[in-house]
Amino acid sequence: MTDCIRITISSQHEDAQTELSLEKGESFFGVLQKAGFFDGACCGGIGTCGQCKVQFLKEAPFPTHSDRRLLSPAQLREGWRLACKCKIVKDCVIAARQMRTTKKMDVQAGIIPEFLQTLPVSEGEAVVCDIGTTTIVMQRIDKQTHHVCATYRTINPQRAYGSDVISRLQAVMHGKDLRTDVISTLLEGAKQLEVDGEPIYVSGNTAMMYLLLGFDAGELALAPFKPSHLQFEKTCVDGLTLIFTPCLSAFVGGDIYAGMYEILQADRTGNQLLLDLGTNGEMVLLTEHAGYATATAAGPAFEGMATAGIWGADLIRYVADAYEMGIVDAYGTFDETYENGLQMGDVFLRQEDVRALQLAKAAVRAGIDVLLKKAQLTYEQIDSVYLAGGFGYYIDPHKASLLGIFPKELVARTTAIGNASLWGSYAMALQCPNDSQIRNRIKNTTVINLANTQEFNEKYLNYINFPEIRK
């Protein structure tokens, strides 16, 4: 191996190329990351998530064990490799069009969803921010028209330390600085949105708040998971005035609080179920007089980008289609004809993808059952189901019910409400007339720890298989 290897990143246009140098001993993935490509490996660079795949146009390195496990034979022949595991020994060319970059920012305008048209109006504008585990989104919204004047969206830079919050909390406990990059992102967003001294209403899960504010990460990463900070004071950070949404527990955070606020301010009647499905599946059941909330570890299947580079909502659709066609049975097992996997469009569906989805949907369905039992309700008594987050916005409720995430009877009562964390923060910024009443209801929500619930474990096992398809 020479002391310096040349990496050419080639676009579709021959005159648009980037040249990088790889010094002896340097990480190939690290060099790409420093150049602005990739927001980080979701698995922390251990070769299990498949999200850092690149296509070599010339001099593809020999496939590693991780390559063979996560990529199909056809992909390997086409030069696809996992960047985090590549051992580069000679000058090479890779395709730029296949790599995501952290340098691309999204500033756009739009109208808030119809779901929010019941909000009161007032003068001026509000700036809101959702610090998500995957993305950070900021918006400037006109309080008179509810028009979204501008949106700033980018990848949460903490993803370089893993896609799950526990990995990030542990990184902080080992001395890593996960605060500075997020603050820099907020400053950049404030600049893009032309924030000039006005407060920013911030929501996010409890871990994201702890990492931003520099609290003791061990309170969330280690048993008994008892956070000493759930209510947060208004804070000034590098010239930004931040007003935080409270959290309910270690695993039910301000993003869920904001979603509950949005639902309650609309003064809807009946029993309402809020589902925010991601790496952690957070669920809230709101009745006329009480609220019950919980969270479960769903794993990567419900994340924005699930296993082997398949988007979570797409994974549900692909598996549901395979199940309807009889290619996958109720146990999640492929027909022997497809024992090595199934090519569906440009996605290669593997046995482990189906298994990950089964485990995730079993955890969510069992969690919902626990909430219903606590409230002494049945599925027939749920009047509305709200799917929150980007995953919820794109999911097909019929496909989800086919796989047993929730019963078929709830499909007609299900609505995707988008980023409830943002919309709830916006509702709080408007200071709704019944603000105190809403906050008191949320404050009195019963948070259930599923780890201490025997029924959850029993239900979880029962729900792993897919339900029988009813003709």
Q: What is the pLDDT of residue 190?
A: 96
Report the alpha-carbon distance of residue 277 to residue 305 in Å, rounded: 12
Q: What is the pLDDT of residue 465?
A: 96
List the domain boundaries for the chain: 4-98, 106-254, 263-462
Strands 235-237 and 240-244, bridge-based pairing: antiparallel
- Token readout for 370 is 């626990």
What value does the mean pLDDT take over residues 49-65? Answer: 85
Which residues have C-beta within 8 Å of that of residue 331, sequence separation ≥ 6?
465, 466
Ramachandran assignment for 30, one of left (phi > 0), alpha (psi -120 to 50 degrees), beta (any other): alpha
Sign, Cα dihedral of 205, 210, 211, 217 = negative
What type of residue sits at position 357? L
- Token readout for 5 is 């290897």
What value does the mean pLDDT take over residues 172-194? Answer: 95
Q: What is the pLDDT of residue 13?
A: 47
Report the alpha-carbon distance of residue 217 to residue 222 in Å, rounded: 9
Report the alpha-carbon distance of residue 103 to residue 90 in Å, rounded: 28
List the CATH code of the domain at 4-98.
3.10.20.30
Cβ atoms of 60 and 122 closer than 8 Å: no
Report the alpha-carbon distance of residue 54 to residue 83 in Å, rounded: 6
Report the alpha-carbon distance of residue 84 to residue 451 in Å, rounded: 34
Report the alpha-carbon distance of residue 259 to residue 241 in Å, rounded: 22
Split at pLDDT 50, 70, 90, the class of 33 is: confident
Output the average pLDDT for the chain: 86
Quick: pLDDT tens for 208-258.
999 999 999 999 999 889 999 999 999 999 999 999 999 999 999 999 999
Q: pTM (2 decimals)?
A: 0.77
Report the alpha-carbon distance of residue 385 to residue 383 in Å, rounded: 7
Q: What is the pLDDT of residue 99?
A: 58
Task: Report the Cα 166 to chain-centroid distance in Å.
Answer: 14
Quick: pLDDT tens for 360-394.
999 999 999 999 999 999 999 999 999 987 677 77
Asked if pLDDT for residue 102 goes beyond 70, the answer is no
Q: What DSSP element (H or E) covers 19?
A: strand 17-23
Split at pLDDT 50, 70, 90, the class of 92 is: very high
* Most confident stretch, 140-154, 263-277, 356-370: 356-370
Residue identified by tokens 């919820």 is 392
- Token readout for 125 is 């504008």
Report the alpha-carbon distance of residue 328 to residue 316 in Å, rounded: 13
Residue identified by tokens 């526990």 is 166
Asked if pLDDT for residue 182 goes beyond 50, the answer is yes
Cα separations in angstroms, 135 against 163, 186, 190 = 11, 12, 16
Say which CATH topology domain 106-254 has: Nucleotidyltransferase; domain 5 (3.30.420)
Quick: pLDDT tens for 308-348.
556 777 889 889 999 999 999 999 999 999 888 888 766 78
Q: What is the pLDDT of residue 114?
A: 66
Asked if pLDDT for residue 101 goes beyond 50, the answer is no
Asked if pLDDT for residue 158 goes beyond 70, the answer is yes
Q: What is the pLDDT of residue 19?
A: 84
* Strand partners for 347: 344
* Most confident stretch, 63-72, 157-166, 228-237: 228-237
What value does the mean pLDDT take over residues 35-53? Answer: 65
Split at pLDDT 50, 70, 90, the class of 269 is: confident
Report the alpha-carbon distance of residue 49 to residue 53 in Å, rounded: 10
What value does the mean pLDDT take over residues 268-297? Answer: 90
Ranking 113-127, 188-202, 348-362 by mean pLDDT, the lowest is 113-127
CATH of 263-462, one of 3.10.170, 3.30.420, 3.30.70, 1.10.1060: 3.30.420
Buried b (16+ CB within 10 A) or exposed e, 393-402: ebbebebbbb
What value does the mean pLDDT take over residues 137-154? Answer: 90
- Is 263-462 in the same CATH topology as 106-254? yes
Exposed/middle/buried for 267, CB within 10 Å: 0-12, 13-18, 19+? exposed
Q: What is the pLDDT of residue 104?
A: 39
Split at pLDDT 50, 70, 90, the class of 87 is: confident
Of the two residues 10 and 170, the one the predictor is more confident about is 170
